[in-house]
Amino acid sequence: MSENLNLSAATDTGKWFATTHWSVVLTARGEESPQAEAALEQLCRRYWPPIYAYVRRRGHRPHEAQDLTQEFFARLLEKHYLDAADASKGKFRTLLLTAVSRFLADEWDRVNTQKRGGGALHLSLEAEKAEAGYRVEPADTATPETIFERRWAETLLETVLARLREEFEAAGQQERFAALKPFLAMEGRKLSGAALAARLGLTESAAYSAVHRLRQRYGELLRKEIAQTVSSPEEVDEELRCLARSLGR
């Protein structure tokens, strides 16, 4: 029960492209609406950690990085950086990385704490979480871009795990999820199928099947999440490989 999750498991990806991050971006370029604002706020929360880590790696102190990240997303919501958005040009996070690089080069000296008000997102919890995540980054010579990719990958996996947990909770299976969750990671190697079976009240064979279904569903949710950030189904496998490289797998 210790085999690694197959990140490249075959799944029907095309059905996930009806509503993607790109379609949200394109909607945001048009008429303002509560739906578009809510969707964009979700995007900002999703990409706050990698953007913040990138800004920190560029040499800014925590408070400066928070202000700069806050202002960057405020500008994004004000559509200044969405005018050139084009799904045919590649990945959504590539657009963000290019945009924040230009932002830091051209706008950082204009940022001040007053710009946290009026139309800006208030994501203080994300700022605290992002700094905590940045502090555990190894003190090596990794480039800002490498740190951005790593935090993107970690945030993506955290999001997928949260969605998987929500599915179990919705079915009233919180304890089942708690028992199975370790088998998604390396820590599952320390556990035996017999112990899991006893905890779940199943046969060992049924416990193995439960782990297999959990990993399969995790892979499906991961592919679905990635599908929202690229412009075509063909790019999903490429992104999965990029994710694995970012995490050193």
Q: What is the DSSP string of 135-149?
A: HTS-SS---HHHHHH
What is the identity of the amino acid at 229? T
Q: Are 212 and 197 in contact (CB under 8 A)?
A: no
Spacing of C-alpha 212 from chain mean position: 24
Task: For residue range 87-112, list pLDDT tens digits in order.
Answer: 666 677 888 888 899 889 876 556 55
Q: Full-prediction pTM beyond 0.85? A: no
Q: How many CB atoms lie within 10 A of CB 1?
A: 16
One-letter-per-residue 3-state SS of 47-81 = HHHHHHHHHHHCCCCHHHHHHHHHHHHHHHHCCCC
What is d(CA 243, CA 1) in angstroms, rounded to the nearest whole number?
23
pLDDT, residue 8, reads 36
What is d(CA 173, CA 190) in angstroms, rounded to the nearest whole number?
23
101-110, 126-135, 147-156: the lowest-pLDDT one: 126-135
Q: Are 40 and 74 in contact (CB under 8 A)?
A: no
- Owner of token pair 């197959």: 6
pLDDT, residue 76, reads 76
Q: Does residue 139 have a pLDDT over 80?
A: no
What is d(CA 163, CA 16) in angstroms, rounded to the nearest whole number?
16
pLDDT, residue 12, reads 43
Decide which of 21 and 156 is more confident. 156
- Owner of token pair 């299976």: 173
Q: Give mean pLDDT, residues 54-71.
A: 90
pLDDT, residue 199, reads 92
Task: For residue range 2-18, list pLDDT tens digits in order.
Answer: 333 333 333 444 443 33
pLDDT, residue 157, reads 93
Confidence band of 75 (pLDDT split at 50, 70, 90): confident
